[in-house]
Structure formats: C-alpha cells, structure tokens
Amino acid sequence: MILDKSLIDQHNQTLASSQDKKFKYLQSVLQDEGHNVNAILEQLAAFQVAIPSWALGMGGTRFGRFAGGGEPRSLEEKIEDVGLLHALNQSSGAISLHIPWDIPQNATAIKQLAASFELQFDAVNSNTFQDQEDQAHSYKYGSLSHTDKHVRDQAIAHNVEVIKHGVALGSKALTIWLSDGSDFPGQQNFRRAFQRTLDSFQQIYETLPDDWKVFIEYKPYEPHFYSTVVADWGTSLLFCQKLGEKALGLVDLGHHLPNTNIEQIVSRFMMEGKLGGFHFNDSKYGDDDLTVGAMRPFQLFLIFNELVEGMISAEVKNPPLSWMIDASHNVKDPLEDLLQSVEAIKIAYAQALIIDRQALEKAQEQNDATQAQEILQQAFRTDVRPLLAQARLQSGAALQPLAFYREQKIRQQLIKQRGLKTYTTGL
C-alpha cells in the first residue's frame, strides 16, 4: 500500500497551529536550559529503528495465535508495510529479515522494492531454534553446541547461507540468537558445550565479509529451563572477545531475569567497545515482547541515559549501534503497535539528550545522590513529544502517525486488499 503524500500534508495542516504552540513553548524552555534545539531535532531525525520482518503480523503464544486480518502474505508485502510505517514516522527506514522465514527469491528485485520505499536492510537473523522441513538433522538437543558434529556443521552452513542472503541485499551484520541449552541437571557438560559453540562461532566468523559484524544475543532461559549456552551478557562478551573485533554483543530488553540492571550492562558493554545493538521491547514477567515503554518507561530512559553518555564520551570507543524492535503483538494491530514502540524509543532518546550532563557529572563526583536524582527526573518528566512531532514535520512525516493511521482506516484497507483470514509468513 502506497500512501498519498497529500493526505499527510492535509493531516499536518489541521494540527499545525496546535503543534506550533507546543513546540515553541518547549523550545523556549529548552533554550533557557542551554540546549541547542536544532541540534536535538537533527539527532532525532537521524535516529532510525529497524522493523523486523516477523513483527508485521499478529504474534501468539504456545497456546495459540489469532490472525488479525490484512497481514502481509509475502516478503514483498512486508516491505510494503515497513514502507508504510516509514512514510508515517520517517523513523523506520530499515527492515531486518529472519531466514528462513523470509528468504528473498530475487534479491535484486527485493532491493529495488525496498529502495522504492527508501528502506535499507538491517542485520539478517539466522534460525537454528526450529527444525525446517528439508533439514537432515534435528536441533532438538542443540545446534551450534550439539554433541554431534553433523548437526553443528548443518547449523554453521545455515548461518553462512544467511550471510550470503544478507550480502545480496546490502546488509552488514548477522544476528545469532542461540537457543541451545539444557532442561535437567547433568544433561549437558557446560564447559564442552561452550567450547563446541565457540568453535562453531569461529567458523561462522571466518566467513564474514570485511565490513560485516556478527551480533551475539543472549537470553537466560526459554526454550530451555535449566541452562542456556549464551545465558547472559558476560557470556556474550566472552564469546565476542574470543572471536575478534567484528563480534559484538546484542541486548534484547526482554532477555533478562526480573529487575536486572540493564542500564549497567549497557555501560559495561560500551566501556569494552563491544555493544553492537538493541532489540527493543518491554515486559512484566519475562520475555513478554510487549510494546516498548508500555511497562517500564523509566527503565528505558535510564538505558538511553547510559547510551547517550557512551556515545558522546571521548573515553568510550564503541562502534555505531544497530537499533531494532523485537516484539510480538498478540492482541494489537501490529502496525499500530510498531508505531507506538518507535515513538516510545525516540521519547526516551530525546529525554536522554536533554539531561544536564555537566550538572549530573558534578553531582556524581560529589556523591550527591539527591541532586543526581533530581537531574534525571527533570529530563524524564519533560514532555518531549512536541520535539518528536517537529522532527517528523520537518521530515515530511505525519505529526500524529497513529491518529493518521486510524483516520485513514489503513488496516481496513489492508484487509480489503489481502483478506480477513490472512496469516503472515514465518510465524
């Protein structure tokens, strides 16, 4: 579906007066505090969040899944949906593919289609947590860590194939989430499982193009409930350090035990120059994959506080980061949910940009916990949404993307085009 740009212009015209008042007030406040508002707007406009190809349809649980209607039935339609999101917010300029769920049959044509929507290809994702119909060996007891070399070789070959697909599309990174682990005490020799995984990683690493990265994602549990080979950030960092410069850690917000201090993990990764990127979501209990910011917006702000500090500090030498949403939409319209998630991410980013860094550092050096809290709370409690709207307006996007989506009845149009009982590929 291709949006009529004139409809966005009409939408913006109806909201222009209200937006102008809100923005000018906030602009005045921020300037009085010493902020360069134009510089902040440029940073917000440049901040792009990749959309995963598997998040464009309704999600589900192990108990069931319900179609939402109008879901994309092919990779081409998924790209169209991401293009739609990007047209609405000008902040979703990349798509991240999951192989084999979304294998491009004609890479050249797929690249051309993506380019027509001003989209690039973010990291490609391998999948050795499921058995595919045509594979010779099962991953029931592991893949890259399996005791059987034939299984490990098959999983390595799959990752190499994913890299080849990524190269054809212009991607520059491979993300590996390894679900390997065990469910019962004594089932697995931890040391040998680690060593087998390292050997597999090294073989994959050697095939990376010179300008590529590999992101090693971690998760403490699920699908296995006694141990996971890459269970935490320390294990991810250890693998990355052993592999080399092109190996970086990937933080998925839902891949932590309850009340984990994720912002400290971010700081440690960046201190070592080993943070590669993020999978954004939110959670109440575990890896819930809820809308970003729906449950813990203050934690998201604290994470961005550390990210911004690391990105501007001369002491930190970390490569540019990759940003992506990884969520599952069980009851919401997936496109509405993604619009909300991108907005929440950029709100936290904007709030982190207006922290009084000099005052915060002074409070930290003087061990003034009260003042440090006041400084952070001042930024967090500032309604920065007029900044985001202004950045969208200047970029040609909708002032209120979600409101525009509903006004134009876009989901109903997609249902009319694709059908009510459609299921997106891959899930």
Average of per-residue pLDDT across 42-50: 98
Asked if 248 and 213 touch (Cβ cutoff 8 Å), the reply is yes
Task: Give the pLDDT of residue 65.
Answer: 78
Tokens of residue 327, six digits: 């969520």
Dihedral class, residue 71 (left if φ above 0, else alpha if ψ from -120 to 50, else beta): beta
Whether pLDDT at 343 is above 60: yes
Tokens of residue 376, six digits: 């952070």
Spatial distance between the Cα atoms of 370 and 142, rounded to a whole number of angstroms:
49
Tokens of residue 203, six digits: 């073989």
DSSP 318: -
What is the fold, at CATH topology level, of the domain defined by 48-354?
TIM Barrel (3.20.20)
Task: Break the chain into its structural domains and give their ranges.
Answer: 48-354
Whether pLDDT at 325 is above 70: yes
410 to 81, 132, 143, 389: CA distances (angstroms): 11, 34, 41, 21
More confident position, 300 or 329: 300
Tokens of residue 34, six digits: 């010493």
Task: Give the pLDDT of residue 210.
Answer: 98
Spatial distance between the Cα atoms of 190 and 168, rounded to a whole number of angstroms:
37
Whether pLDDT at 427 is above 70: no
- pLDDT tens sequence across 261-308: 999 999 999 999 999 999 999 999 999 999 999 999 999 999 999 999
pTM > 0.75: yes
Q: Which of 156, 118, 114 is nearest to 137 (CA)?
A: 156
> Of all helices (H) and strands (E), which one includes residue 325?
strand 322-325
Which residues are within 8 A (CB) of 138 and not within 5 positions of it... i.e. 6 or more apart? 131, 151
- pLDDT tens sequence across 86-96: 999 999 999 99
Q: Which of 81, 166, 94 is nearest to 424 (CA)?
A: 81
Q: Which of 301, 332, 129 is nearest to 222 (CA)?
A: 129
Task: Give the pLDDT of residue 60.
Answer: 76
Asked if 90 and 396 touch (Cβ cutoff 8 Å), the reply is yes
Average of per-residue pLDDT across 204-220: 98
Average of per-residue pLDDT across 157-161: 98
> Of all helices (H) and strands (E), which one includes residue 125?
strand 124-125
Looking at every residue in the chain, the average pLDDT score rounds to 96
Task: Give the pLDDT of residue 345.
Answer: 98
